[in-house]
Amino acid sequence: MKAHTRETQATMTPQKALQFLKEGNLRFQNNLKANRNLLEQVNDTSEGQFPFATILSCIDSRVSAELVFDQGLGDIFSVRIAGNFVNEDILGSMEFASKLAGTKLIVVLGHTSCGAVKGACDDAKMGNLTGMLAKIKPAVESVSEPKDEGQRNSKNLDFVDAVAEKNVTLTIDNIRNMSPILKEMEDNNEIDIVGAMYDINTGAVSFFE
């Protein structure tokens, strides 16, 4: 499989970009990697890059977007931060990726058993981690009381995963509210902004549709 070019990027639509990622995740789940020569892709992309998607995911070592979507060099912009939330710097990166570099899709990818979400659920405090986890607290507060004896902490994995899903939807809301550029592009059908969850037990990505 060759690296994307200006011409192949130009044929991309948000819907086609989403389909590419879905197909890549199916390959990943079935251990059927696309046939690509990474060293050849190094050469192919040496004078330019033409990715089709931007993916915001967690720093979790099990959730590498390139791997779980079976993508090669030059295919996606990968933004990673614990808890997959946005701030001004990340939004600026996304605006560059979409408006200037031509990606057609933004994916906010959460995952099950997220350590950052667990920390926010437990109200953990430690150095700079305290301020970072505070950005996930709105998701914790937005999830209603769990059924099993009101256990709103990291011991309740169902609650943790519910908070992780809510954090994805709130992050998408923040992208639209904090970036007029990306909101306008979405309104004009130039890009889509979608959420998804990665299951660390199966390798499957479920998109919010």
Rounded to whole angstroms, what are the CA distances from 198 to 100, 102, 131, 145, 168? Answer: 28, 25, 25, 23, 11
Is 4 assigned a ligand-binding role in the annotation? no
DSSP class of 143: S
Report the relative pairing of strands 205-207 and 192-198 from DSSP bridges. Answer: antiparallel
Is 60 assigned a ligand-binding role in the annotation? yes
Q: What are the tokens at 168?
A: 């994805």
DSSP class of 4: P
Is 121 assigned a ligand-binding role in the annotation? no
Question: In 3-state terms, what secondary structure has residue 205?
Answer: strand
Residue set of the binding site for Zn(2+): 58, 60, 111, 114
Residue set of the binding site: 58, 60, 111, 114
